[in-house]
Structure 1
Amino acid sequence: MSEQMSAPRITASYLDSFVGRVVTIVGKVTQLRGDQATIDADGVVTILLNRDAHLANGNAAQVIGKVNPDLSIKALSTRDVGAGVDMTLCAAVAELTHRHKEIFISEN
């Protein structure tokens, strides 16, 4: 399974374990500034946006991207998923992903 196909769901607390890897993160957009966004995904995460990103402040966003050494994420794909997202549920799904790594995470 390629790394692109295995983009494990994470929260901010897992960033340092995935430096250099592609991940999926869902968080509430708290700030948009030029080509950067800040999201709250059980902690503050800086997202380096690409041209195709169309996020709205206050909405939740799903980001697939590569974790940089400074723990920011370079977005490969972004999706605004609206205001009605249960962030507690998103964090729980990420936590279960790590509890059952053999099912969800490829170590390649």
Structure 2
Amino acid sequence: MEATATPRVTASYLSSYIGRNVIVVGKVIQLRGEEATLDADGSINAHLNRDAHLSAGNGVQIIGKVNPDLSIKVLTSLDLGTGVDYNLANTVVEIAHQQRPMFFYE
């Protein structure tokens, strides 16, 4: 079995991961039907699956595939509630990308 990484990203990294799965922690800004707008150090449009039960204003962790238009097709989602430290989540992403050999299989 080949080892693959699911990198943590923010909006600014999406263009580097088109067609790949990523993990995003962000705040749910808007919900409309099967779509959500997230703030993850920038705006991300997420195409939700049926299992997604998100609340506007809450934090969320999503795992999904980055589409060519930089939206994300959500595979799994986890509502994180209101006590999310977004600065910490963004710092983890930055450190992971600065120290790639520690965090990614390439």
> Aligning the two structures, in what range does the TM-score lie when normalised by the shorter sequence?
over 0.9
Aligned partner of 2:36 in structure 1 is 37
Counterpart AA for 1:39: L
Q: Deviations over 1:14-49 (max 9, x none)?
A: 000000110000000000000000000000000000
1:9 is paired with a residue of what secondary structure? coil
Q: CA deviation at 1:103?
A: 1.3
Q: Deviations over 1:51-84 (max 9, x none)?
A: 0000000000000000000000000100000100
2:14 is paired with a residue of what secondary structure? helix
Number of aligned residues: 105
Does residue 73 in structure 1 map to residue 72 in structure 2? yes
2:27 is paired with a residue of what secondary structure? strand
Counterpart AA for 2:41: D
What percentage of residue pairs aligned between the two structures are identical?
55
Q: Where in structure 1 do 4 or more consecutive aligned residues deviate above 6 Å?
A: none
Report 1:84-103 matches (<5 A): 84-103=83-102
TM-score (norm 1): 0.94
Q: CA deviation at 1:95?
A: 0.5
Counterpart AA for 1:17: S
- Unmatched 5+ stretches in structure 2: none
Aligned partner of 2:10 in structure 1 is 11
Superposition CA RMSD, Å: 0.8
Aligned partner of 2:20 in structure 1 is 21
Return the alpha-carbon distance in structure 1 between the equivalents of residues 63 and 84 of structure 2.
17
Aligned partner of 1:55 in structure 2 is 54
Return the alpha-carbon distance in structure 2 between the equivalents of residues 25 and 40 of structure 1.
10
- Unmatched 5+ stretches in structure 1: none
Counterpart AA for 1:2: A
